[in-house]
Structure 1
Amino acid sequence: MFKPLALFIASVAISSAAVAQSANTDDEGSAQNSTEQLAAVEYEAPYEAPLLAANTNEKVMVLNVVTVRSRNRIEKLQDVPLSVSVVQGKELERLNATDIAALTQRLANISWNQGNQRTSSLSIRGIGKQGQTEAQDPAVGLIVDGVNYAYNALSSSFDFTDVETVEVARGPQGTLLGKNSSIGAINVTTKRPSFDSDFSYALTLGEWDTVQGRFAGGGAVVDNLLAWRGSLSVSKGQGDLKNAYNTDETYTNKERVSGRVQFLLTPNEDFSARLAVDIQPRSGERTNGRTIRTPTPATYSNGSINPLSEDAKTRLTRRWFTQSPAYNYTDYYLATDEVNNDSARPLITGSNGATVDLNWKLDSHTITSITAYKDYHFNAVNDEGTPFDIQRNSGGFFNDYKQVSQEVRLSSAQGGFVDYQTGLYYLDVNNKSEYQRIWGNDAGAWFASNAQYTTLDKDGAGRYLLINSLSGLDMAWNSPAGYQDINNESIAAFGQANWNFTDKFVLTTGLRFTREERDNRTSTHIVDSGFGAELNPSTVNDVNLGGFHSVNATTALNATTNVAAGTLGRVVTTVNPDGTTTKTLVNDNSVSQLKLADFLANKYFGTTIADATPGSAYNSLTAAQKAQVGAAKALRQSQIGVVFNEFDVEPYEKTLPAFVISPTYKFNENLTTYFSWQHGEKAGIAQATNGISNLVKEEKNDALELGLKSLLLNNTLVLNLALFEMNIKDYQQTSRIFDEYSTTLARQADPNAPDRYTNATANIPKVRSRGLEIDSIYSGIPNTTLRFAGAYTDSTYEEFTNSAQPSENGYTGAPPYQDVSGETLPGASKVSFNLGVDYRLPVFDGKEFHTSLNAQYNSKFNSDNSLSSYGWIEGRTLVDFGIGLGNSKQTFDVNLVVKNLFDDDTPSTRTWNSYTPATPRWIGVTFSGRF
């Protein structure tokens, strides 16, 4: 708990020494740095105020300096030797772009991979789609007001309002920004407190009962000493897809409230302090379950027949489910305009945070300290997609996440031979996570194999067993572990310097070392045995589950003798010297276990218990009755699956380097070229796979970039180009790995059993992404600003020989994994671009007509992580449009907004038997103003 304070004291000591030894800098540079580093600095607009052209009523836009904060100081975009895109908050407001998905629609070569609030992720240059497990760092960093969010979920159900700018910096980051990120970072800056009074409001009314209210404002509390700013956002609305089970429930609805208050203290010109507190109360949005089912293909990729033995079509034709004539597979399970979920609940999220941002001006240097806390809560209760009581929670995470960070940074004044920044960073993360699964009364009839169902659905006793085989069973279920207590700690020292050899030639160098220490305590266990505790196995993987030993399926002891299902005892297999095996029935049940077996016989079959002879009541059951017990116990054990006692996985401890070398040459004020070599590493993962430690190595990225930044056509065109190549070693992604747990269990029954495999996060040897990026702004058309950003990206697996097999390769005898070397990564489009248009024209007396458009295009990509042939999503274009009228004083404005103007219905994801539908066109009206 003393590490943040220790880092702060150490940094002050470093800064004092640096100030004493620093080279002289001119007064103008010092004054400039002081202005930039103190808090209340406004961004410049991407163009100046409109100027009247001669002899015309048209207005000509002249581009001004676009500034960014991607390197922790305000700089001209054209001077930053990085591939950086920036979008202004005003542009976001005009089209009601408030969530993270809408923000990324306006930035080049970055995408938001929509899952639910916990599993969504950001990717840049086609990399990062799968970086989202609880113990894993995100590949793309998110920074909000100087605070790194070390967990993707922190941004997924939050409305970004009162935003000043959003920037994306591509390639490894970390020699300046607080938390290192291996692929890139998004930097969101909200409006800061000011001593000038400023209040604004916006009210949006739209389709699907949508109401969104936004308020922001502030001003001086004590002139020139204390200022404040507050913002409030309330967003509520139905989704486009109804739940037939309860038509008041829709997918994907909005239910968001968030508030933020900030205070700025400036007792003198050399010191400022900003305190910010934000709260997002817990609320629920239905995201999981937005799934449309399609018929499962009847053949596999090799042409063999798919028996569909576990398919919904087979299960829903069982007598158990056909008793409800109002529901059938074709009309309801395969419905294209609704879902039918009885147990699904809204995904509950909530978050709180606080930041203290301090800035000291010391002669020619500035010390910045950012102390921050952020927490996040997530709870999902899911459903299998029918109105039957199959799964009361078909698998949902319960997360409580907390992070504490401390950054202390020393910045020199700009100017002179060298200007630099250096600092220390500390981050402590704790994430307690439980993957919940609860089964219902109909679960046994759903999950039973055909043979088990036939055995149990014969009579009343069998159906009682069928219900109790799973009903009420509650588990911290294995995905990848039932319970995880994750602790990640990062301590880093970093620095970056600009060496100004001449007015035209600058060399940027940066270095970072991050010490990562990560541990994870984990288990998978039964929380509540439900109605059928007596059907539990005795032990699994040396975990006592409280049941008795019995043979759960007919087992051959030799060529002529079978042990009938349900027989008391267990079969022990031994290997003879000649390599043959011998099987022996061993009845090693304790007295208490035999009494439990008698209890079962009495409960389900009414058999009288003879206290003097434990086990006799159970042994008196008929062979058919014992077979029913065996079927019910086998069914229960198959759903319990992997269990293991709590243990500490192998920790991850390593020091990771990052660096940047980037020469820049300025031909003139309007033309700059640069080259950069960036190296970044993402920490490894301390995790368990089926109860066995499975340490994942760090991911290493070397990124090369050649860029050109230009201001052309009489300052009406900004045109920036970047050629890039990223080579990633040990890329962290789901892979097919050897399953030690399942192989060991299988060989206890059969020493000759083959190796078993499972899917888990692992290291992919080589991944490469390369291409061309374009960013431009053009204002040469009267009254109009055009923004264009595009990319051609080739992101491929250079070496990946053990990828999971897609569903269509599930035929008997298929290899346990596939080689996808040379294939394009999932989620990666070859071509992407976005186009923004803003047109503003004075009309009438003091009024302004305005219209805005944003179009985002992505070429086809595969949405399935195993690269299924069914997972391809065709190219799609999403267009948002706004048109409105306001007054020149900005006290009132009305704006008609249309999202997905052309109603593009391209699904967002697709598997071989389901897809996630697009969000259809939405129309709303926003009333806004200032006072």
Structure 2
Amino acid sequence: MSLASLSLLLLASTAPAPAGALRDDPVAASAKDEQQARPAQESGSGEIVVTARRREEKAQDVPIAMSVIGGSTIEQTGATNLNRLQTSLPAVQFYSSNPRNSAINIRGLGAPFGLTNDGIEQGVGFYLDQVYIGRIGASTFDFVDIERVEVLRGPQGTLYGKNTTAGAINITTRAPSFTPETKVELSLGNYDLISAKASVSGPLSDKLAIRISSAVTSREGTIENVRTGEDLHKQRTSSFRGQLLWKVNDDLDFTLAGDWNLQNPLCCVQYYARVGATQRPLSRQYAALAAAFGYAPPSTDPFDRKTDLDAQIKSRQEIGGASLVANWNLGPATLTSVTAWRYWDWQPKNDRDFTGLPITTISQNPSQQRQVSQELRLSSNGDGRLNYTLGAFFFHQTINTQGSQVQGSAASRWLLNPGNVPPGATGCATATAAACNPLVLNGLTSTNTINFDNTSFALFGKLNWQPVDGLHIQPGLRLNYDKKSGFYEAVVSIHNARYNYVATADNVAALLANGTATADQLNTLAPQRYSPRFSDWNVSGDITVSYDVSRDVHAYATYARSFKSGGINLSGLPLNSTSTGVDLSTQTVKPEKVDHFEIGLKTQFLDRRVTFNTAAFWTEIKDYQATVNNNAINVIRGYLANAGKVRVRGFEWDLAARPSQRLNLYFNGAYTDAKYTDFKNAPCPPELSGGTATAPGGATDPAGTPGGRSPAFCDISGQVLPGISKWSLSWGGEVRQPVGDGNVYLGYDGSWRSRFSSNPSPSAYTWIDAYSLSNVRLGWRRSDLNIYGWVRNVFDKRYFELLSVQSGSTGLVVGQPGDPRTYGLTISKSF
């Protein structure tokens, strides 16, 4: 128990219960019960109670662009995690080449696309029962016993903190109940799917209530490794959550919660998708290199779902934590304390050359995160002319990562230039070429030690002033302090018949000078060591003016000045001109500065049978944190730095209708125009990479010219941000017909997104085409029983979740396909 929570308890035990509204408000409680009984996408109803502004309010009254999806909708649509949930949220993008390398973006903003770097922050805040989750990788757990998911679009920095420049995702689990209840669920499906969930809740006494929830899921893989005979992308998950509610009296309660989640899915593999021309010499591009080894992928059609990866694949992660939430109704206000400790343990293995050749035989970055946080909030009660929320927040996080990368016997020929090759010769035609000698790189190993320490503190406040009936003026302010420190060391070694040494940042120059090591080796895996530091104070704020045009029509306008915390580079730095050191000027990255404008309208009509909410927004970010190259020639490493400016603008809508008690429909959409407005030193796309490097401003050759001249960097100002579809839509509904003491129902959920770039710098080779997905369910349910069959990806649509390029500018493009059609049967029973 935290000191803050203990103080609340001691004060309450000696003071009389103050007067005020009871926390178990029957109106709010009935609204929550109604939410759970509603089918998908009826979250626009004004009766749904949310906590988007750290207090209970009706969703339609909150002047924030938001989506709310209830627990029953999540269960029935099979949206078991955030990746699946995004199909019904057009403004949300979730990308993951593995759990550590995951990103959540809202309206195209949040995190640099495809980058893993322990020293940077996310731009979408992720909260579980009011607890901030400090790493997106720790948000990839399966949903269990969820009451609702709130997705808040646009900056939320005043109430949610420093790293919510794009929005926040607020997950609330079902609370312990003083009414006994039990629910079990079993799902069976193709690919040998077995999923079982159970929850039980009830009173231990008239003051104590408990809830225990658990789930296990097993499914065979959807991708075959023809080399090993093993199926990849299996699902193996186990989850447990326990909560204990102590209701001291009507004005004071404590909730102690703990959760544990284990996943070992044998994912996430990428393999041959296509080949594109680069500016490497033809003999150094994929086709010639593969031919030199007599290699061919098991299929050139990625949707045959076959690969021959020769490295081990593993994505084991363990997530868990504990929290104590205290609420004390003081009459005029409620004091809330949220104390939490969480951990994330990541144990991966990857094949980072994406082929069956022994190029990079080991590539992995096991990582362990620990975090503690404490939040105190004081929120006024009642519906007076002036309401407020005041608070303080403390957060401390540590991350320890142990990286390793090992090159194999094919690495020299695949990665290195062939040296002095005679005219007309191809491949490794000379014995003097380093690329001809496998021993040059075979066994070359980089062992990385990465440490990160982050301490944050904030004071915040939000007012809601109603000078006249219907007009609300809502300013907010947050003061934040960040202190970050890190350590990065890469030690490089090689032990084979020709080479035997260990290179550190201290002895690398001597090893090169005496010929023990070669520049080819230490340019491939560079030893380095540095200890970056960063600290800063930031003030962010927003102001919203809203007007209740009528009981069912609400308009608002918002301006927000927000920021995403500065960071430190912890994935290695670019080499300096001597190739024996690093550019220490790139250790840190400045905070992002965000100016955001938004107008919105929330409406209901036809006796609240139809809800239509819409918003338009314009966001500009200065010092956007992105992956870049420096201005030197022959740089082999990208890193995080500040692009000049990014602009995102668009509009979105949420439409829900209930023409009758037997039919509900929804249609949601988003238009997002996201561009780099100033990014002059961006990494070049693959078709401009791999050739002879030229100095800035020097002559270059057209894209895809074999042996051509490549720019040191590219100006991509005016081009689109990665991962963002200009148009995204979701639609569907459910129809019901009474049969016996229940209802037969048919539900459909569809989504479509236009094409998007899957590379930080747009490339002709990495556009993902537009695609549409359809899910259906047919079943029968009554209040305590639900039996239904389901099909996801009904039309077995072939699509990629992401595309990326093989390092070394060979032209190989690899992809991670989405799930094929799956189907099954689910039975759930409540007692």
1:528-585 deviation digits (Å, cap 9, x = unpaired): 5333584548x7764348857456xxxxxxxxxxxxxxxxxxxxxxxxxxxxxxxxxx
Q: What residue is the counterpart of 1:611 in the other structure?
A: none
Structure 2 counterparts to residues 717-796 of structure 1, below 5 A: 717-739=610-632, 758-796=637-675
Residue matched to 1:117: 99
1:899 aligns with 2:792: yes
Map Cα deviations across residues 114-166 of structure 1 (whole Å, 9 max, x no partner).
Answer: 3211112111111225265311111111111101112110112x101211111
CA displacement, residues 185-227 of structure 1 (integer Å, 9 cap, x when unaligned): 01111101011111111111111111111111211111x2111
Q: Does structure 2 retain, via aligned residues, the 8 Å contact 1:429–1:489?
A: yes
CA distance in 2, matches of 1:135, 1:12: 38
Counterpart for residue 745 of structure 1 = none
TM value normalised by structure 1: 0.78
Q: Whole-Å Cα distance in 1 between the matches of residues 794 and 435 of structure 2?
A: 54
Secondary structure of the 1:808 match is: helix
Q: 2:678 aligns with which of 793, 799, 810?
A: 799
Q: Cα deviations across residues 600-653 of structure 1 (Å, max 9, x unaligned)?
A: xxxxxxxxxxxxxxxxxxxxxxxxxxxxxxxx945534433x2123x321x211
Out of 673, 682, 699, the residue aligned to residue 592 of structure 2 is 699
- Of 589, 601, 610, which residue of structure 2 is paired with 1:708? 601
| CA distance 1:386–1:755, change in 2 (3 Å) | closer
Q: Secondary structure at the match of 2:365?
A: strand
Task: Determine if the alignment matches structure 1 residue 43 to structure 2 residue 10.
Answer: no
CA contact (8 A) 2:748 2:775 kept: yes
Aligned to 1:543: 507
Partner of 1:815: 711
**Map of 1:264 onto structure 2:** 245
**Pair 1:832-2:728 in alignment:** yes
Conserved 8 A contact 1:203-1:213: yes
Name the residue aligned to 1:847: 742
Q: Map 1:120-519 to 2 at 5 A.
A: 120-130=102-112, 133-156=117-140, 158-177=141-160, 180-222=163-205, 224-250=206-232, 252-281=233-262, 283-297=263-277, 306-318=280-292, 321-322=293-294, 328-329=295-296, 331=298, 337=304, 338-383=306-351, 384-393=353-362, 395-444=363-412, 446-451=414-419, 466=437, 468-476=439-447, 482-519=448-485
Q: Which residue of 2 aligns with 1:99?
A: 81
Q: In structure 2, what is the equivalent of residue 920 of structure 1?
A: 820
State the partner residue of 2:52.
Answer: 70
- For structure 1, which segment, 464-473 or 357-366, has the greater mean C-alpha deviation from structure 2 after superposition? 464-473
Instruction: Name the amino acid aligned to 2:619.
Output: M
Structure 1: how far apart are the matches of 2:101 and 2:269? Answer: 14
Alignment partners' CA distance in 1, 2:164 and 2:756: 24
Kept in 1, the 8 Å contact 2:413–2:435? The answer is no
Mapped contact 2:647–2:674 kept (Cα < 8 A): yes
Letter in 2 for 1:668: S
Aligned-partner Cα distance in 1 for 2:791–2:763: 34
The percent identity for this pair of structures is: 28
Q: Is the 8 A contact 2:94 2:103 kept in 1?
A: yes
Write the letter of the residue equivalent to 1:759: G
**8 Å CA contact retained: 1:699, 1:731:** yes
Q: Distance in 2 between matches of 1:351 and 1:198?
A: 27
What is the aligned length? 783
Q: Which amino acid aligns with 1:636?
A: Q
CA distance in structure 2 between the partners assigned to 1:807 and 1:889 by the alignment: 56
Deviations 1:859-899 (A, max 9, x none): 1211111111222222211111111123x242x32211111
**1:668 pairs with one of 544, 550, 574:** 550
Q: 1:193 to 1:330 in 2, by over 3 A?
A: closer
Root-mean-square deviation (Å):
3.4
Q: Contact 1:770 / 1:793 at 8 angstroms: preserved in 2?
A: yes
Aligned to 1:529: 494
The letter for the 2-side match of 1:289 is: V
Structure 1 residue identity aligned to 2:309: N
Letter in 2 for 1:286: L
What residue in structure 1 maps to residue 768 of structure 2? 873
- In the alignment, the residues of structure 2 paired with residue 149 and residue 772 of structure 1 have an alpha-carbon distance, to the nearest angstrom, of 28
Deviations 1:53-75 (A, max 9, x none): xxxxxxx9995612211111111
Supply the distance in 1 between the matched residues of 2:634 and 2:412 (Cα, whole angstroms).
Answer: 29
Checking the alignment, whether the CA contact within 8 Å between 1:738 and 1:757 is kept in structure 2 is no
Write the distance in 1 (CA, Å) between the matches of 2:609 and 2:518: 75
Taking the aligned partners of 2:688 and 2:418, their CA distance within structure 1 comes to 22
* Matched AA of 1:271: L
SS in 1 for 2:659: coil
SS at match of 1:122: strand
Amino acid across the alignment from 1:218: S
Q: Which residue of 2 aligns with 1:689?
A: 573
3-state SS of 2:496 partner = helix
User: Are positions 1:648 and 2:531 aligned together?
Assistant: yes
What is the Cα deviation at residue 917 of structure 1? Answer: 2.4
Q: In structure 2, how many angstroms separate the alpha carbons of the residues matched to 1:95 and 1:775?
A: 18
Shift in alpha-carbon separation, 1:857–1:455, aligned structure 2, 3 A: closer
Which amino acid is the alignment partner of residue 543 of structure 1?
A: N
Gaps of 5+ in 2: 575-581, 692-707, 805-810
TM-score, normalisation: structure 2: 0.87
Cα pair 2:226 2:298 within 8 Å, conserved: no
Deviation at 1:684, TM superposition (A): 0.3
Structure 2 counterpart of 1:329, one-letter code: A
Report the Cα offset of residue 736 of structure 1.
2.4
Amino acid at match of 1:689: L
SS in 2 for 1:262: strand
One-letter amino acid matched to 1:675:
A
Q: Does the 8 Å contact 1:45/1:64 carry over to 2?
A: no
Q: Is 1:884 aligned with 2:774?
A: no
Aligned amino acid, residue 453 of structure 2: N
Alpha-carbon deviation of 1:314?
2.8
- Partners of 1:115 and 1:415 lie apart in 2 by 47
Whichever structure has more strand as a proportion of its residues is 2
Counterparts of 2:163 and 2:431, CA distance in 1: 62
Bigger CA radius of gyration = 1
Alpha-carbon contact 2:773-2:797 (below 8 Å) kept: yes
The alpha carbon displacement at 1:456 in A equals 13
Measure, in 1, the Cα distance between the counterparts of 2:120 and 2:201: 39
Counterparts in 2 of 1:634 and 1:518: CA distance versus 1, 3 Å: closer
- Paired letter, 2:821: R
Alignment partners' CA distance in 2, 1:677 and 1:61: 26
The Cα of 1:41 is off from its aligned counterpart by: 8.9
Deviation at 1:356, TM superposition (A): 0.6
CA distance in 2, matches of 1:657, 1:287: 41
Residues 778-823 of structure 1: per-residue CA shift (max 9 Å, x gap): 1014501112221112111121112111010124323212222222
Listed one character per residue, the Cα deviations across residues 700-734 of structure 1 (whole Å, up to 9, x for unaligned) are 11111111111101210111111111111111111
In the TM superposition, residue 853 of structure 1 has moved relative to its aligned partner by 1.7
Distance 1:461 1:725 in 2: 58
